[in-house]
Amino acid sequence: MRPAAVAGRFYPREPQALAKMVDEMLAEVERAGDLPRLPAPPIALIVPHAGYVFSGQVAAYAFHQIRGVVYEAVVVVGTNHADPNFRKVSVYAKGAFHTPLGLVPIDEELAAQLLAADPQHLVFERSVHRDEHSIEVALPFLQRLLPGCKIVPIIVGEPSLENTHALSDVLVKVLAGKRSLIIASSDLSHYPSYDDARQVDAATLAAILTMNPERFRRTIQEQERRDLRNLLTSACGEGPIITAMMAARDLGANQAALLKYANSGDTPFGDRDQVVGYGAVAFWQAPAVPSSTSSGLCLGIGGARTGFATKG
């Protein structure tokens, strides 16, 4: 079992408080009335992974789209913050992830298929997952919306073309024919001013919405050459985003939508001199694919049930 690493820092440690916070964020999406209504279930989502007081509400706009959806497979692709020496792709293959809401079981059969499909690039390196938060912060949303669902957690070590192509290829191979969801975990710009972040993030999101990985990568490179003050990166999850874009497209996605944007400066806890950007994006296929009713599925439940760091 992989224990919760950031409970009490990125989100509440107490189960009741965590469930209440997630449910309230999902309910706020409905109250706001500005959520795009997609004509088909998402094949892939891009969600932020900061502390819930910073990015949780943006993430809720993405996760709200899976309410009531049936999925046969759920893959969460995270960013490698914890181990700069890890260069490959790690598929967590056995056991479960723990959060204060309980255990999220690993889809061990699917994980084994992924590892067997490309052992050169995909490995099971347990230590890379131990302290990494980018997957963990997505799980309470899944636990509230897809209770009992199995997942395959994946960390992209180095966001190289070789790694992202390898991972997207095996995802397409293994997920083809299944109602599947790929979640790419990434924040956007890191540490520019509020106004600079909005400009940088608008360009990044526009590139993502083209569903063209080459344009997205080129946009990231161009922005980093601009030498904007305090801009460390335009997207810490470049690898997960590219993977999701390529895999979703090859699995049939032909539409993309920005569901919500904000940055840490939009919250009461943010410093507008140095912010982190957050975007929620969905990829789907039009027209809608009929829902599967076979066994072993992840079924979304309809209707919501009734000071944490960090910003990036």
Does 1 map to a domain? no
pLDDT at 46 over 80: yes
Does residue 152 contact residue 91 with C-beta atoms inside 8 Å? Answer: yes
| pLDDT, tens digit (0-9, with 9 covering 90-100), for 214-248 | 999 999 999 989 889 999 999 999 999 999 999 99
For 268, how many CA atoms within 13 A lie in the half-sphere containing its CB? 3
Does 54 map to a domain? yes
| Residue 253 CB partners (closer than 8 Å, separation 6+) | 43, 44, 211, 283, 284, 285
Does 86 map to a domain? yes
| Residue 123 CB partners (closer than 8 Å, separation 6+) | 88, 89, 90, 91, 115
What total of structural domains would you count in the chain? 1
Does 25 map to a domain? yes
Query: In the chain, where do the E strands start and end?
Result: 42-47, 70-71, 73-79, 89-91, 96-99, 102-105, 122-123, 152-156, 180-185, 255-263, 277-284, 298-299
Query: Could you tell me whether strands 122-123 and 89-91 are parallel, antiparallel, or unpaired per DSSP bridges?
Result: parallel
Determine the average pLDDT of the residues in 101-118. 98
- Output the domain CATH number for residue 195: 3.40.830.10
Does 8 map to a domain? no
Task: Give the pTM.
Answer: 0.91
Task: Please report, as a single letter, which amino acid is at residue 233.
Answer: T
Does 306 map to a domain? no
Range of the domain at 112: 15-299
| pLDDT, tens digit (0-9, with 9 covering 90-100), for 274-312 | 999 999 999 999 875 455 544 455 554 433 222 334 556
Determine the average pLDDT of the residues in 101-122. 98
Does residue 171 contact residue 75 with C-beta atoms inside 8 Å? Answer: yes
The span from the CA of 141 to the CA of 297, in Å, is 17
Does 76 map to a domain? yes
pLDDT at 159 over 60: yes
Enter the tokens of residue 198. 């909005």
Enter the tokens of residue 227. 């030498």
Does 5 map to a domain? no
